[in-house]
Chains A and B, each alone.
Chain A
Amino acid sequence: MPLYLSEFVPGPATARSPRGAPTAAGSMEGPYNQVRLGRSGYTLLWTDEPVRHPKARLLADHVDEKLAVTADHHLSRLMRRMVRHRPDVRGAIVSGISHLIRTNKEARRKEIWLGPGGVAKNLLWSQPARVFHSTKDIQDNFNRTAANLAGSTSSDSQFTWSEPQSTAFTTNGTTCGFSALGGTTFNVGLASLAMDTADHYTQIEVATFTPPTTGGLSPGVGVRITNGTGSSDSGYGFETGRNGFSNPVRRLYDWATDGTLASDTTSTTTGTLLIQASGSTITAKLNGTTIFSITDTTYPGTGSQRKAIISCYCFAATGSATLALDNFRAADLVAGKAPPLFHRSQRFFRKRRGA
């Protein structure tokens, strides 16, 4: 029987819900069974009839249900119990709902809820979170004596900076930046301390952005970096600002080759830039809002591919350029795994429409 992961969409308007109550996408197409996945806005849906709604993702069908099980071991155990009668779709479910794991309000447990209700009712899965902060979490506010960035120690004393490309970055007492009068430079600041996991983020605040009269200025950040040189290197970069033709550009790019992966032409000159790698999903954010999100498998973040960088490309054809960066931070996304405290298997809540 085909199994889908479905988003909720507004259903038909009724007198009670003029704008339409949330309904599982595709569920109107025939009899179906579903399990709502907490308040995530998703439901697991299974039905004899194929669901063709674009917001309903096929997890497994009756033709080829062989899927790689890559998700969390504990979820696998749970799913083995939940779908004992359908072990072939276990991997699909795990892959589909692993991203629905949430940290509870006290930040002490990882949980999946089937819906609102008490612990004895709708809590599907729970395990204690061993640590509640990132495995590695490094920061620098650049509040120190003015000096070249290379060789300086971060404000949290956890790492030192190097400059694998150019040497123009300097600290001025409160920020890190540079000024350029003519010419082309690509400045890179590499944090010496590698993250513990492949899934991590890097962020920096653009405090001052003064582009040249003609030319470009593009501050940025990078993750999954090996050495920051661009040669025998790895990783992904996110930069904003202006390109060499004075045009606004924001782009997510392959750090090692400099090839663009996603871009737009929205002007952005200030704010906090963040790039995050989680599995094969690479996300770029500005002030917490996602700008780009893509799937890319080139750099998995294994081995030495775990460093963070700040960068700035500058092409000052005419006039001078000035940039100041502040509040650098890089951290792993997830804590280490903890042993499960308990598991609860629950019966599917079957609902057959029209039956």
Chain B
Amino acid sequence: MATNVYVVPTETVTSPHGQQVQQGKYFAVLQSGVSGQLTQFLYGPELTAMFIARDVDPAAHALMAAFPDCITVPDLAQNVGAQRQAVENALEALNLPAGWVTTGMSYGSIVRFVAIFFLFMQAFRGRGGSRLFTGGVTLQTQWGDLPAGVRTTLAETAQQLGLNTSGVTANTRIRAILKGLADQWPLVSIVAGEATL
């Protein structure tokens, strides 16, 4: 019983009910090679998805690992160690703040943080938020430079989740805001199918 985590871009596909939906690329590849459950986290309205799959057969895993735009996360119990910079680069490329990664952290703890970022952005989307990282907005963008409507929706999202935004000023960068909100996330389990983060 092993858990594999993959981070992939999303693509528009036709859902089982005939809708056009955003879904992680290679979902079908992974689904066909998983004997357990396959769980998908979307980074809210952003174009990134994370698969958490239980018992992936070696052939499907090899296929996933071979896709150049698929990040195959190593064993969750393994520490980042010398790969810290590579992990940071990968996260930043996905518009996920990464300055907090240390060599002593396990991949599992990083995946948990990523899941928290995803959950925050899910709630943002649920409140009607559309893509945040578009039109020149990056992790370096300051709060005051975001459109007023986006700021309102982000603030409402934090409030809905019981997170404190009192430390946010016009000069606070998005990376600091997201990390600050994630730091407040209750330390209770995040359930992803047969895996717990």
Which residues does A use to contact B, with CB under 8 Å? 54, 57-60, 64, 66-68, 70, 91-92, 95-96, 184, 186, 216, 218, 230, 234, 243-244, 249, 251, 253, 257-265, 280-281, 292-300, 302, 313
Contact = CB atoms under 8 A, between A and B. Distances in A.
Chain A CB count within 10 A is highest, among B19, B184, B186, B188, for: B188
Contact of B40 (A68, A92, A261, A298): A261
Given A184-B18, A244-B16, A259-B40, 19 more contacts: A58-B187, A64-B183, A91-B186, A92-B187, A95-B188, A249-B16, A257-B21, A257-B22, A258-B17, A259-B21, A259-B22, A261-B39, A262-B38, A262-B40, A292-B39, A294-B191, A295-B191, A297-B123, A298-B125
Nearest to B38: A263
B31 A263 contact: yes
Interface stretch (B61-69, B136-144, B158-166): B158-166
Nearest to B23: A259
Contact of A258 (B19, B31, B183): B19
Given A260-B40, A263-B31, A300-B123, A230 B19 contact: yes
Contacts of A91: 186
A112 to B, nearest CB: 16
B111 to A, nearest CB: 13
B192 interface: yes
A68 B186 contact: yes
Contacts of A244: 16
B67 to A, nearest CB: 19
Given A54-B77, A67-B186, A259 B42 contact: yes
Given A259-B15, A295-B190, A297-B120, A265 B31 contact: yes
A143 to B, nearest CB: 30
Contacts of B95: none
6 contacts: A95-B187, A230-B19, A259-B23, A260-B15, A262-B38, A294-B192
A313 B17 contact: yes
Contact of A251 (B16, B34, B191): B16
Interface residues of B, number: 41
B18 A293 contact: no
Interface string B117-132: 0011011011000000
Interface string B73-100: 0000100000000000000000000000
B31 A68 contact: no
A89 to B, nearest CB: 10
Nearest to A67: B186
B162 A70 contact: yes
Contact of B184 (A67, A216, A265, A280): A67
A184 B119 CA distance: 34
B193 A294 contact: yes
Contacts of B183: 64, 66
Nearest to B21: A259
A258 B126 CA distance: 14
Contacts of A234: 126
